[in-house]
Structure 1
Protein backbone atom coordinates (compact mmCIF):
# COMPACT_ATOMS: atom_id res chain seq x y z
CA UNK A 1 0.00 0.00 0.00
CA UNK A 2 1.07 3.58 -0.52
CA UNK A 3 2.32 5.62 2.40
CA UNK A 4 -0.46 7.94 3.62
CA UNK A 5 1.98 10.76 4.33
CA UNK A 6 2.76 11.06 0.62
CA UNK A 7 -0.61 12.54 -0.19
CA UNK A 8 -1.96 15.87 0.91
CA UNK A 9 -5.49 16.17 2.33
CA UNK A 10 -6.58 17.16 -1.18
CA UNK A 11 -5.29 13.81 -2.45
CA UNK A 12 -2.47 15.23 -4.57
CA UNK A 13 0.53 12.98 -5.13
CA UNK A 14 3.60 14.71 -3.74
CA UNK A 15 6.84 14.81 -5.71
CA UNK A 16 10.06 15.83 -3.98
CA UNK A 17 12.45 15.82 -6.95
CA UNK A 18 15.51 15.84 -4.71
CA UNK A 19 17.03 12.37 -5.17
CA UNK A 20 18.89 13.26 -8.36
CA UNK A 21 20.92 15.84 -6.43
CA UNK A 22 23.84 13.44 -6.77
CA UNK A 23 23.88 14.16 -10.48
CA UNK A 24 24.28 10.45 -11.14
CA UNK A 25 22.18 8.62 -13.69
CA UNK A 26 21.67 5.68 -11.32
CA UNK A 27 19.44 7.96 -9.18
CA UNK A 28 17.29 9.24 -12.04
CA UNK A 29 13.83 10.41 -10.85
CA UNK A 30 11.93 7.72 -12.75
CA UNK A 31 13.74 4.80 -11.09
CA UNK A 32 11.86 2.79 -8.47
CA UNK A 33 14.63 3.10 -5.88
CA UNK A 34 14.56 6.89 -6.28
CA UNK A 35 10.81 6.97 -5.67
CA UNK A 36 11.20 4.75 -2.59
CA UNK A 37 14.02 6.93 -1.29
CA UNK A 38 11.90 10.08 -1.57
CA UNK A 39 8.88 8.42 0.04
CA UNK A 40 10.90 7.21 3.02
CA UNK A 41 12.67 10.58 3.23
CA UNK A 42 9.39 12.46 3.51
CA UNK A 43 8.10 10.09 6.18
CA UNK A 44 11.31 10.55 8.16
CA UNK A 45 10.97 14.32 7.99
CA UNK A 46 7.28 14.28 8.92
CA UNK A 47 7.89 11.96 11.85
CA UNK A 48 5.83 9.12 10.40
CA UNK A 49 9.05 7.17 10.98
CA UNK A 50 10.04 8.66 14.36
CA UNK A 51 13.51 9.02 15.85
CA UNK A 52 14.75 5.75 17.28
CA UNK A 53 12.24 3.59 15.39
CA UNK A 54 13.54 0.27 14.11
CA UNK A 55 13.27 -0.18 10.34
CA UNK A 56 12.68 -3.63 8.93
CA UNK A 57 13.30 -4.02 5.21
CA UNK A 58 10.50 -6.53 4.69
CA UNK A 59 7.97 -4.33 6.48
CA UNK A 60 9.08 -1.26 4.55
CA UNK A 61 8.80 -3.10 1.24
CA UNK A 62 5.26 -4.14 2.09
CA UNK A 63 4.31 -0.67 3.37
CA UNK A 64 5.60 1.13 0.30
CA UNK A 65 4.48 -1.62 -2.10
CA UNK A 66 7.92 -2.09 -3.60
CA UNK A 67 10.77 -4.58 -3.84
CA UNK A 68 13.47 -5.27 -1.28
CA UNK A 69 16.23 -4.11 -3.63
CA UNK A 70 14.75 -0.61 -3.87
CA UNK A 71 14.32 -0.41 -0.10
CA UNK A 72 17.92 -1.48 0.50
CA UNK A 73 19.25 1.08 -1.97
CA UNK A 74 17.11 3.81 -0.40
CA UNK A 75 18.22 2.93 3.12
CA UNK A 76 21.84 2.91 1.98
CA UNK A 77 21.52 6.45 0.69
CA UNK A 78 19.65 7.64 3.79
CA UNK A 79 22.40 6.13 5.95
CA UNK A 80 25.01 8.10 4.01
CA UNK A 81 22.98 11.25 4.71
CA UNK A 82 22.92 10.41 8.41
CA UNK A 83 19.13 10.14 8.59
CA UNK A 84 19.20 6.49 9.60
CA UNK A 85 21.74 4.34 11.43
CA UNK A 86 22.65 0.85 10.21
CA UNK A 87 24.52 -1.51 12.55
CA UNK A 88 25.49 -5.07 11.69
CA UNK A 89 24.05 -6.69 14.82
CA UNK A 90 21.42 -4.26 16.07
CA UNK A 91 19.76 -3.51 12.72
CA UNK A 92 18.55 -0.24 11.24
CA UNK A 93 17.02 2.62 13.21
CA UNK A 94 15.95 6.20 12.54
CA UNK A 95 18.67 8.63 13.64
CA UNK A 96 17.98 10.69 16.76
CA UNK A 97 17.19 14.40 16.60
CA UNK A 98 20.56 15.83 17.62
CA UNK A 99 20.52 19.53 18.52
CA UNK A 100 24.31 19.85 18.28
CA UNK A 101 24.24 18.38 14.79
CA UNK A 102 21.37 20.73 13.90
CA UNK A 103 23.36 23.78 15.00
CA UNK A 104 26.46 22.67 13.12
CA UNK A 105 24.42 21.91 10.01
CA UNK A 106 22.76 25.32 10.21
CA UNK A 107 26.14 27.04 10.44
CA UNK A 108 27.25 25.15 7.34
CA UNK A 109 24.08 26.10 5.46
CA UNK A 110 24.56 29.79 6.30
CA UNK A 111 27.96 29.60 4.64
CA UNK A 112 27.02 27.46 1.64
CA UNK A 113 23.42 28.19 0.65
CA UNK A 114 23.67 31.97 0.11
CA UNK A 115 26.69 31.29 -2.08
CA UNK A 116 24.68 28.74 -4.06
CA UNK A 117 22.02 31.42 -4.57
CA UNK A 118 24.70 33.76 -5.89
CA UNK A 119 25.94 31.10 -8.31
CA UNK A 120 22.36 30.38 -9.39
CA UNK A 121 21.90 34.07 -10.21
CA UNK A 122 24.88 33.74 -12.56
CA UNK A 123 24.20 30.29 -13.97
CA UNK A 124 20.48 29.42 -13.79
CA UNK A 125 18.58 29.19 -17.06
CA UNK A 126 15.24 30.92 -17.43
CA UNK A 127 13.56 27.53 -17.17
CA UNK A 128 15.38 26.71 -13.92
CA UNK A 129 14.48 30.07 -12.37
CA UNK A 130 10.85 29.69 -13.42
CA UNK A 131 10.75 26.17 -11.98
CA UNK A 132 11.92 27.52 -8.60
CA UNK A 133 9.05 29.99 -8.57
CA UNK A 134 6.49 27.43 -9.70
CA UNK A 135 7.37 25.04 -6.86
CA UNK A 136 4.91 27.08 -4.78
CA UNK A 137 2.10 27.13 -7.33
CA UNK A 138 -0.20 25.48 -4.78
CA UNK A 139 1.31 27.33 -1.84
CA UNK A 140 -1.76 29.40 -0.94
CA UNK A 141 -3.99 26.34 -0.80
CA UNK A 142 -1.43 24.43 1.27
CA UNK A 143 -1.15 27.34 3.71
CA UNK A 144 -4.93 27.70 3.99
CA UNK A 145 -5.37 24.03 4.86
CA UNK A 146 -2.06 23.74 6.78
CA UNK A 147 -1.14 20.91 4.43
CA UNK A 148 2.12 19.94 6.12
CA UNK A 149 3.24 17.21 3.67
CA UNK A 150 2.73 19.56 0.71
CA UNK A 151 4.53 22.47 2.40
CA UNK A 152 7.50 20.28 3.33
CA UNK A 153 7.66 18.85 -0.20
CA UNK A 154 7.60 22.35 -1.71
CA UNK A 155 10.38 23.53 0.59
CA UNK A 156 12.61 20.55 -0.19
CA UNK A 157 12.06 20.91 -3.93
CA UNK A 158 12.81 24.64 -3.82
CA UNK A 159 16.10 24.39 -1.95
CA UNK A 160 17.24 21.42 -4.06
CA UNK A 161 16.43 23.42 -7.21
CA UNK A 162 18.54 26.37 -6.05
CA UNK A 163 21.43 24.07 -5.15
CA UNK A 164 21.34 22.37 -8.56
CA UNK A 165 20.96 25.67 -10.42
CA UNK A 166 24.18 26.88 -8.82
CA UNK A 167 26.00 24.70 -11.35
CA UNK A 168 28.34 23.49 -8.60
CA UNK A 169 27.55 19.82 -8.07
CA UNK A 170 30.03 19.48 -5.20
CA UNK A 171 28.18 22.15 -3.20
CA UNK A 172 24.78 20.65 -4.05
CA UNK A 173 25.90 17.24 -2.78
CA UNK A 174 26.87 18.80 0.55
CA UNK A 175 23.93 21.14 0.90
CA UNK A 176 20.90 18.99 0.08
CA UNK A 177 21.50 16.37 2.82
CA UNK A 178 21.94 19.24 5.31
CA UNK A 179 18.54 20.55 4.24
CA UNK A 180 16.98 17.14 4.77
CA UNK A 181 18.29 16.96 8.33
CA UNK A 182 17.16 20.50 9.08
CA UNK A 183 13.67 19.75 7.77
CA UNK A 184 13.14 17.17 10.55
CA UNK A 185 13.30 20.06 13.02
CA UNK A 186 11.62 22.61 10.74
CA UNK A 187 8.32 20.74 10.74
CA UNK A 188 7.86 21.61 14.41
CA UNK A 189 7.69 25.29 13.46
CA UNK A 190 4.32 24.61 11.84
CA UNK A 191 2.75 24.03 15.23
CA UNK A 192 0.65 27.11 15.88
CA UNK A 193 1.76 28.89 12.70
CA UNK A 194 -0.98 31.06 11.24
CA UNK A 195 -2.01 31.02 7.61
CA UNK A 196 -0.46 34.46 7.17
CA UNK A 197 2.86 33.33 8.64
CA UNK A 198 2.93 30.43 6.20
CA UNK A 199 2.06 32.73 3.32
CA UNK A 200 4.83 35.13 4.34
CA UNK A 201 7.36 32.30 4.31
CA UNK A 202 6.20 31.15 0.88
CA UNK A 203 6.55 34.70 -0.43
CA UNK A 204 10.12 34.92 0.90
CA UNK A 205 10.99 31.80 -1.10
CA UNK A 206 9.32 33.18 -4.22
CA UNK A 207 11.32 36.37 -3.79
CA UNK A 208 14.54 34.38 -3.90
CA UNK A 209 13.41 32.88 -7.21
CA UNK A 210 12.58 36.35 -8.57
CA UNK A 211 15.96 37.79 -7.61
CA UNK A 212 17.83 34.80 -9.03
CA UNK A 213 15.86 35.17 -12.28
CA UNK A 214 16.88 38.83 -12.44
CA UNK A 215 20.57 37.89 -12.26
CA UNK A 216 21.16 39.98 -9.14
CA UNK A 217 24.05 38.11 -7.52
CA UNK A 218 24.30 40.07 -4.27
CA UNK A 219 20.53 40.39 -3.99
CA UNK A 220 20.21 36.62 -4.26
CA UNK A 221 22.66 36.13 -1.40
CA UNK A 222 20.73 38.55 0.78
CA UNK A 223 17.37 37.02 -0.07
CA UNK A 224 18.62 33.53 0.86
CA UNK A 225 20.05 34.82 4.13
CA UNK A 226 16.60 36.17 5.01
CA UNK A 227 15.09 32.71 4.49
CA UNK A 228 17.73 31.35 6.88
CA UNK A 229 16.76 34.04 9.44
CA UNK A 230 20.14 35.75 9.16
CA UNK A 231 20.37 39.49 8.73
CA UNK A 232 22.22 40.11 5.44
CA UNK A 233 24.71 42.40 7.15
CA UNK A 234 25.58 39.63 9.61
CA UNK A 235 26.32 37.28 6.75
CA UNK A 236 28.33 39.82 4.74
CA UNK A 237 31.90 39.03 3.98
CA UNK A 238 34.57 41.10 5.65
Structure 2
Protein backbone atom coordinates (compact mmCIF):
# COMPACT_ATOMS: atom_id res chain seq x y z
CA UNK A 1 0.00 0.00 0.00
CA UNK A 2 1.31 3.45 -0.90
CA UNK A 3 1.92 5.83 1.98
CA UNK A 4 2.07 9.60 1.50
CA UNK A 5 3.55 10.34 4.96
CA UNK A 6 2.03 13.81 5.22
CA UNK A 7 0.11 13.63 8.49
CA UNK A 8 2.83 14.89 10.81
CA UNK A 9 3.45 18.04 8.78
CA UNK A 10 -0.01 19.13 7.70
CA UNK A 11 -1.55 20.22 10.98
CA UNK A 12 -2.23 16.62 12.02
CA UNK A 13 0.27 16.51 14.88
CA UNK A 14 -2.22 14.52 16.97
CA UNK A 15 -2.70 11.99 14.16
CA UNK A 16 0.01 9.41 14.55
CA UNK A 17 0.71 7.67 11.19
CA UNK A 18 -0.21 4.41 12.93
CA UNK A 19 -3.74 5.55 13.76
CA UNK A 20 -6.52 4.14 11.60
CA UNK A 21 -7.92 7.60 10.80
CA UNK A 22 -4.50 8.72 9.52
CA UNK A 23 -4.22 5.68 7.26
CA UNK A 24 -7.74 6.21 5.91
CA UNK A 25 -7.06 9.92 5.39
CA UNK A 26 -3.97 9.22 3.29
CA UNK A 27 -5.68 6.53 1.21
CA UNK A 28 -8.68 8.75 0.46
CA UNK A 29 -6.32 11.65 -0.25
CA UNK A 30 -4.37 9.62 -2.79
CA UNK A 31 -7.56 8.51 -4.54
CA UNK A 32 -8.75 12.12 -4.66
CA UNK A 33 -5.46 13.23 -6.21
CA UNK A 34 -5.49 10.37 -8.73
CA UNK A 35 -9.10 11.02 -9.70
CA UNK A 36 -10.23 7.59 -8.52
CA UNK A 37 -12.76 9.59 -6.53
CA UNK A 38 -13.89 11.91 -9.31
CA UNK A 39 -14.64 15.64 -8.94
CA UNK A 40 -18.29 16.11 -8.02
CA UNK A 41 -18.78 12.49 -6.96
CA UNK A 42 -20.91 11.82 -3.89
CA UNK A 43 -19.00 10.07 -1.10
CA UNK A 44 -20.97 7.57 0.97
CA UNK A 45 -19.37 6.83 4.32
CA UNK A 46 -20.52 3.20 4.37
CA UNK A 47 -19.11 2.59 0.89
CA UNK A 48 -15.82 4.25 1.81
CA UNK A 49 -15.55 2.17 4.98
CA UNK A 50 -15.96 -1.00 2.89
CA UNK A 51 -13.56 0.25 0.20
CA UNK A 52 -10.78 0.99 2.67
CA UNK A 53 -11.63 -1.75 5.18
CA UNK A 54 -11.98 0.87 7.88
CA UNK A 55 -14.43 1.86 10.58
CA UNK A 56 -17.01 4.57 10.07
CA UNK A 57 -15.42 6.75 12.75
CA UNK A 58 -12.08 6.73 10.91
CA UNK A 59 -13.78 7.58 7.62
CA UNK A 60 -15.71 10.46 9.21
CA UNK A 61 -12.56 11.86 10.81
CA UNK A 62 -10.69 11.61 7.50
CA UNK A 63 -13.49 13.33 5.58
CA UNK A 64 -13.62 16.07 8.20
CA UNK A 65 -9.91 16.75 7.70
CA UNK A 66 -10.25 16.68 3.91
CA UNK A 67 -13.17 19.12 4.17
CA UNK A 68 -10.95 21.53 6.12
CA UNK A 69 -8.41 21.27 3.28
CA UNK A 70 -11.12 22.02 0.70
CA UNK A 71 -10.73 18.66 -1.07
CA UNK A 72 -14.25 17.53 -0.22
CA UNK A 73 -17.41 19.51 0.46
CA UNK A 74 -19.77 18.52 3.26
CA UNK A 75 -23.37 19.74 3.02
CA UNK A 76 -26.14 19.11 5.50
CA UNK A 77 -28.68 17.77 2.98
CA UNK A 78 -26.65 16.57 0.02
CA UNK A 79 -23.91 14.79 1.99
CA UNK A 80 -20.22 14.81 1.12
CA UNK A 81 -18.99 15.55 -2.41
CA UNK A 82 -15.54 15.56 -3.99
CA UNK A 83 -14.59 19.18 -4.57
CA UNK A 84 -14.60 20.29 -8.21
CA UNK A 85 -11.42 21.25 -10.04
CA UNK A 86 -11.44 25.04 -9.93
CA UNK A 87 -8.98 26.80 -12.27
CA UNK A 88 -9.22 30.08 -10.35
CA UNK A 89 -8.40 28.28 -7.13
CA UNK A 90 -5.51 26.53 -8.88
CA UNK A 91 -4.03 29.85 -10.03
CA UNK A 92 -4.41 31.41 -6.59
CA UNK A 93 -2.91 28.35 -4.93
CA UNK A 94 0.04 28.43 -7.31
CA UNK A 95 0.67 32.08 -6.50
CA UNK A 96 0.63 31.25 -2.79
CA UNK A 97 3.01 28.31 -3.25
CA UNK A 98 5.38 30.48 -5.29
CA UNK A 99 5.72 32.75 -2.27
CA UNK A 100 5.72 30.17 0.52
CA UNK A 101 7.49 27.07 -0.75
CA UNK A 102 10.86 28.59 -1.76
CA UNK A 103 10.90 30.26 1.66
CA UNK A 104 10.22 26.87 3.30
CA UNK A 105 13.07 25.34 1.30
CA UNK A 106 15.38 28.07 2.56
CA UNK A 107 14.27 27.43 6.14
CA UNK A 108 14.85 23.71 5.61
CA UNK A 109 18.39 24.41 4.43
CA UNK A 110 18.98 26.33 7.63
CA UNK A 111 17.22 24.04 10.12
CA UNK A 112 17.00 20.49 8.71
CA UNK A 113 18.66 17.72 10.67
CA UNK A 114 20.72 15.13 8.81
CA UNK A 115 17.82 12.71 9.09
CA UNK A 116 15.37 15.25 7.69
CA UNK A 117 17.69 16.14 4.80
CA UNK A 118 18.07 12.44 4.02
CA UNK A 119 14.29 11.96 4.10
CA UNK A 120 13.94 14.69 1.47
CA UNK A 121 16.51 13.00 -0.76
CA UNK A 122 15.00 9.54 -0.19
CA UNK A 123 11.52 10.68 -1.23
CA UNK A 124 12.27 9.88 -4.89
CA UNK A 125 14.14 6.63 -4.28
CA UNK A 126 13.19 4.35 -7.16
CA UNK A 127 11.93 7.33 -9.16
CA UNK A 128 13.63 6.27 -12.40
CA UNK A 129 11.85 2.93 -12.44
CA UNK A 130 8.53 4.60 -11.62
CA UNK A 131 9.05 7.03 -14.52
CA UNK A 132 9.95 4.23 -16.94
CA UNK A 133 6.87 2.29 -15.87
CA UNK A 134 4.72 5.44 -15.89
CA UNK A 135 3.57 4.45 -12.42
CA UNK A 136 1.38 7.44 -11.66
CA UNK A 137 0.28 6.47 -8.13
CA UNK A 138 3.88 5.88 -7.07
CA UNK A 139 5.13 9.13 -8.62
CA UNK A 140 2.34 11.08 -6.92
CA UNK A 141 3.17 9.47 -3.57
CA UNK A 142 6.86 10.29 -4.03
CA UNK A 143 6.08 13.90 -4.88
CA UNK A 144 3.80 14.34 -1.88
CA UNK A 145 6.37 12.76 0.45
CA UNK A 146 9.05 15.09 -0.91
CA UNK A 147 7.08 18.29 -0.41
CA UNK A 148 5.85 17.18 3.02
CA UNK A 149 9.44 16.41 4.04
CA UNK A 150 10.60 19.87 2.98
CA UNK A 151 7.73 21.49 4.87
CA UNK A 152 8.53 19.40 7.95
CA UNK A 153 12.23 20.28 7.77
CA UNK A 154 11.44 24.01 7.67
CA UNK A 155 10.58 23.71 11.38
CA UNK A 156 7.71 26.14 10.80
CA UNK A 157 4.47 24.29 11.43
CA UNK A 158 2.33 27.33 10.59
CA UNK A 159 3.77 27.47 7.08
CA UNK A 160 3.47 23.69 6.69
CA UNK A 161 -0.21 23.81 7.62
CA UNK A 162 -0.82 26.31 4.81
CA UNK A 163 1.47 24.74 2.25
CA UNK A 164 0.63 21.05 2.24
CA UNK A 165 -3.10 21.42 1.44
CA UNK A 166 -2.08 23.67 -1.46
CA UNK A 167 0.22 20.91 -2.70
CA UNK A 168 -2.58 18.36 -2.47
CA UNK A 169 -4.84 20.52 -4.62
CA UNK A 170 -2.10 21.21 -7.16
CA UNK A 171 -1.39 17.49 -7.47
CA UNK A 172 -4.96 16.87 -8.64
CA UNK A 173 -4.31 19.09 -11.65
CA UNK A 174 -0.85 17.64 -12.31
CA UNK A 175 -2.40 14.19 -12.72
CA UNK A 176 -4.40 15.43 -15.69
CA UNK A 177 -1.20 16.46 -17.51
CA UNK A 178 0.62 13.19 -16.74
CA UNK A 179 -0.29 11.43 -19.98
CA UNK A 180 1.32 14.22 -21.99
CA UNK A 181 4.67 13.94 -20.19
CA UNK A 182 7.49 11.97 -21.79
CA UNK A 183 9.80 9.69 -19.80
CA UNK A 184 12.60 12.23 -20.29
CA UNK A 185 10.43 15.00 -18.86
CA UNK A 186 9.48 12.87 -15.86
CA UNK A 187 13.13 12.03 -15.21
CA UNK A 188 14.12 15.69 -15.49
CA UNK A 189 11.41 16.62 -12.99
CA UNK A 190 12.67 14.00 -10.54
CA UNK A 191 16.21 15.32 -10.89
CA UNK A 192 15.04 18.87 -10.19
CA UNK A 193 13.47 17.67 -6.95
CA UNK A 194 16.69 15.89 -6.01
CA UNK A 195 18.61 19.10 -6.68
CA UNK A 196 16.53 20.74 -3.96
CA UNK A 197 17.39 17.90 -1.58
CA UNK A 198 21.11 18.14 -2.30
CA UNK A 199 21.20 21.91 -1.80
CA UNK A 200 19.26 21.63 1.47
CA UNK A 201 21.76 19.01 2.68
CA UNK A 202 24.58 21.50 1.94
CA UNK A 203 22.84 24.11 4.12
CA UNK A 204 22.73 26.54 1.18
CA UNK A 205 19.76 28.78 2.00
CA UNK A 206 19.75 30.87 -1.18
CA UNK A 207 20.49 27.82 -3.31
CA UNK A 208 17.54 25.97 -1.78
CA UNK A 209 15.20 28.85 -2.56
CA UNK A 210 16.41 28.98 -6.16
CA UNK A 211 16.19 25.20 -6.61
CA UNK A 212 12.62 25.12 -5.32
CA UNK A 213 11.67 27.95 -7.66
CA UNK A 214 12.96 25.82 -10.54
CA UNK A 215 10.76 22.94 -9.37
CA UNK A 216 7.78 25.29 -9.33
CA UNK A 217 8.85 26.89 -12.63
CA UNK A 218 8.90 30.30 -10.99
CA UNK A 219 11.29 33.09 -12.01
CA UNK A 220 12.91 35.20 -9.27
CA UNK A 221 11.13 38.28 -10.64
CA UNK A 222 7.75 36.61 -10.12
CA UNK A 223 8.03 36.39 -6.35
CA UNK A 224 8.55 38.89 -3.61
CA UNK A 225 10.08 36.59 -1.05
CA UNK A 226 10.21 37.29 2.68
CA UNK A 227 13.48 37.28 4.56
CA UNK A 228 14.48 33.87 5.93
CA UNK A 229 15.20 35.55 9.24
CA UNK A 230 11.69 36.98 9.55
Q: Under a length normalisation based on structure 1, what TM-score does the superposition of the two structures give? A: 0.92
Residue number among 68, 84, 87 corresponding to 1:96 in the alignment: 84
Correspondence 1:147 to 2:140: no
Task: Tell me the equivalent position of 2:157.
Answer: 169
Number of matched residues? 226
Is there any run of 5+ residues in structure 1 with no aligned partner, and where? 1-12
Structure-2 change in CA distance of 1:213 and 1:56 (3 Å): same
Residue 14 of structure 1 deviates from its aligned partner by: 1.1
Correspondence 1:227 to 2:215: yes
Task: Tell me the equivalent position of 1:178.
Answer: 166
Residue 141 of structure 1 deviates from its aligned partner by: 0.6
Partner Cα distance (2:92, 2:180) in 1: 26
Residue number among 95, 98, 106 corresponding to 1:118 in the alignment: 106
Partner Cα distance (1:61, 1:110) in 2: 37
Residue 15 of structure 1 deviates from its aligned partner by: 1.1
Q: Is the contact made by 1:105 and 1:178 (CA closer than 8 Å) also made in structure 2?
A: yes
Correspondence 1:46 to 2:52: no
Task: Tell me the equivalent position of 1:128.
Answer: 116
Correspondence 1:83 to 2:71: yes
Residue 123 of structure 1 deviates from its aligned partner by: 0.2
Q: Is the contact made by 1:225 and 1:235 (CA closer than 8 Å) also made in structure 2?
A: no
Q: Is the contact made by 1:120 and 1:166 (CA closer than 8 Å) also made in structure 2?
A: yes
Q: Under a length normalisation based on structure 2, what TM-score does the superposition of the two structures give? A: 0.95
Q: CA RMSD in A?
A: 1.3
Task: Tell me the equivalent position of 2:206.
Answer: 218
Partner Cα distance (1:237, 1:166) in 2: 15
Correspondence 1:192 to 2:172: no
Correspondence 1:71 to 2:59: yes
Structure-2 change in CA distance of 1:26 and 1:237 (3 Å): closer
Partner Cα distance (2:108, 2:42) in 1: 39
Residue 19 of structure 1 deviates from its aligned partner by: 1.6
Cα deviation 1:74-114 (Å, max 9, x = unaligned): 00000000000000111110000000000000000000000
Q: Is the contact made by 1:123 and 1:166 (CA closer than 8 Å) also made in structure 2?
A: yes
Partner Cα distance (1:236, 1:90) in 2: 42
Is there any run of 5+ residues in structure 2 with no aligned partner, and where? none
Q: Is the contact made by 1:36 and 1:71 (CA closer than 8 Å) also made in structure 2?
A: yes
